Structure 1
Amino acid sequence: MTQQDFSTVLANVNGVHLTTSGAHFKQVGEGLPLLVVENQLGSAVIAIQGAHLLSFVPAGGQDLLWLSPNAIFEPAKAVRGGIPLCMPWFGGHPEGLPSHGFARSTDWTLQSARNLADGRTEIVLSLQDSEQTRAMWPYAFNFEFTIVVGTALDLSMTTQNLSDTSVPYTYAFHTYFAISDYTQVVVTGLADLNYIDTIGVERRLVQQGDVVFTGSTDRVYLDVPEVQTIVDGTRSIRIASSAHSAVVWNPGEHAKNIADIGSDAYRQFVCVERGDVFDNALTLAAGASHTATMTLSA
């Protein structure tokens, strides 16, 4: 984070201060367990609810992720900031089910935590279908999310369709990046691409040059290249992903209507979300699986 240490944000919630080594559990808010990972290469904080990365700091660097100073830590409520997992659908649902799916607000299971030979730390979490999930998405599935913490953050999400029918599927790594001021950053790697502007009447346009922010922005870029870069003065954040879409979002002054962002905090983040959404939506055949990867580095 740019303005305050992650542990300070948690301290503002319930007095928790994270000063740990290795991998340890902590608890925040209304009983949300957090897994804290620290090694010589970097550190991360992961909420078990949603398998939600809240912080990633490469050794000697700044937090790449933004966590809202007004974030709410409550069961079944997605935390504002970090990397929420939007799946198994992205955006609104035609039948009024929770926006961005249920994965980001459901408790996952920690499968393993181990140190790798190169000094990185690997965390594996999983989520399987249940009576609760089948009421919203009537399919048998297994989600497995692998997080590797080092000088870079390596993520891999494998979705297995365990049902006997094909399954419609969209997802996104809804990443909030910590920056100095959203009006001062540039996003490269999207020039000349087709995108859908979802503000107001939906329009299909072509990106002219690099992306800059002058106000409220909500765009879905289609068939994007592997790498985008956020250029923030002398600092750059590299985003590399196997996904085919990139959603670029900042609410601008409309953030004053979003309680867990607030009127000024929106200036300290931009979202560049990699996933497969809209025209890049997937269909998983019965018994098939899909793996999406993303690597963040400064």
Structure 2
Amino acid sequence: MQTLSAFDSRLADAAGVSVASSTEIHGGEGAGLPMLIVENALGRAELTLQGAHLTSFVPAGGRELLWLSPKAAFVPGKAVRGGIPLCLPWFGGHPEGKPAHGFGRNQPWTLVGAEALSDGTTRVTLELLPNDATRALWPHDFVFRLAVTVGSALTLALRVEHRGEVTVPFSCALHTYFAVPDVTLADIDGLDGCTYINTVGGANTRHAQQGTLRLDAPTDRVYLDVPAVQTIRTAQGTTHIESDTRSAVVWNPGDFALNIADVGEAYRHFVCVERGDVFDDALTLAPGDVYEKWLTLSFS
């Protein structure tokens, strides 16, 4: 089981960030995964060290913004279903048959910084460096860092340093699962007029979004060159999504989820609106390049 070192633990204690096992919080068998709980007067978040994976965010006096599958498994080496998995250094399938969505979401990250800020928020920073498992999939030197700031809003700041010797293709997504009462009644705005690629069934056809998006069937769309802000409106209120990335992926498997062991009928209670740089918005990193992007989530 992945554990916190003494240095990690001192950082957590200094910032008022507590450490727990996923079995203490979510139950389940086995040792589970080590988790950080970040809490202050403005909000509360939970994340696993594996994958630097946010699994919960609740602003003070508000509701849970993130969906976590009731069937989620907290198992070393397996991505947790729900929350905000980090898909990098590639998104989706790989042309050489390597695992989909890269390795960032499955690898153990290290807590390298934690502090209570003067505005009442709390920031924790996690880091992933190359190891034997990553080199087998992506034989390049790198530093991945994710800074998570918890307050009345949640901000994720991703920094990728390419320290390898050759130019490499790169794409990533912050694969956010948002909790909604009923996916068929959730209105998604901020995509009107954008071109999207419909990938359901491998169609890969291009269309232009017209007006508000509401999902009434299995949906997997990659929106290109999108505005900074999208919203999800439900009877509970409005979730605000803001990012400086260029793509947005809207996904819900619909009744196909009945064949996904860790989703099933629960598909009705989430919608993914993922921000990132994927498909046409993907890029290449030359030696020494730094990729920095951010995502902020809030609720009103």
Whether TM exceeds 0.5 here: the answer is yes
Between the aligned partners of 1:25 and 1:87, the Cα distance in structure 2 is 26
Deviates more, 1:242-251 or 1:126-135: 126-135
What residue number does 1:147 align with?
Answer: 148
Between the aligned partners of 1:178 and 1:141, the Cα distance in structure 2 is 33
Shift of 1:117: 0.7
Shift of 1:284: 1.0
Cα deviation digits, residues 162-182 of structure 1 (max 9, x gap): 012112100000000001100
Residues 1:60 and 2:54 are matched in the alignment: no
Cα deviation digits, residues 4-42 of structure 1 (max 9, x gap): xxxxxxxxxxxxxxxxx9311101243300001110000
Code of the residue aligned with 2:95 in structure 1: it is: P
Secondary structure in 2 aligned to 1:279? helix
What residue number does 2:11 align with?
Answer: none
Residues 1:24 and 2:25 are matched in the alignment: no
TM, length-normalised to structure 2: 0.91
Q: 1:148-163 counterparts in 2 under 5 A?
A: 148-163=149-164
Code of the residue aligned with 1:236 in structure 2: it is: T
Cα deviation digits, residues 21-77 of structure 1 (max 9, x gap): 931110124330000111000000010000000000000000100000000110000
What residue number does 2:85 align with?
Answer: 84
What residue number does 2:138 align with?
Answer: 137
Change (3 A) 1:217 1:121: same
Structure 2: segments with no counterpart, 5+ residues: 1-14, 24-30
Cα deviation digits, residues 141-172 of structure 1 (max 9, x gap): 00010000000001100000001211210000
Shift of 1:234: 4.8
What residue number does 2:115 align with?
Answer: 114
What residue number does 1:221 align with?
Answer: 223
Secondary structure in 1 aligned to 2:271? strand
Cα deviation digits, residues 121-153 of structure 1 (max 9, x gap): 000000011222111011110001000000000
Between the aligned partners of 1:155 and 1:28, the Cα distance in structure 2 is 21
Code of the residue aligned with 2:245 in structure 1: it is: A
Shift of 1:244: 0.2
Identity of counterpart residues, as a percentage? 54
Deviates more, 1:44-53 or 1:90-99: 90-99
Secondary structure in 2 aligned to 1:215? coil
What residue number does 1:195 align with?
Answer: 196
Aligned residues: 277
Secondary structure in 1 aligned to 2:50? coil
Code of the residue aligned with 1:289 in structure 2: it is: V
Q: Which runs of 4+ in 1 moved over 3 A?
A: none
Between the aligned partners of 1:63 and 1:168, the Cα distance in structure 2 is 35
Secondary structure in 1 aligned to 2:99? coil
What residue number does 1:184 align with?
Answer: 185
Between the aligned partners of 2:174 and 2:111, the Cα distance in structure 1 is 19
Between the aligned partners of 1:117 and 1:206, the Cα distance in structure 2 is 44
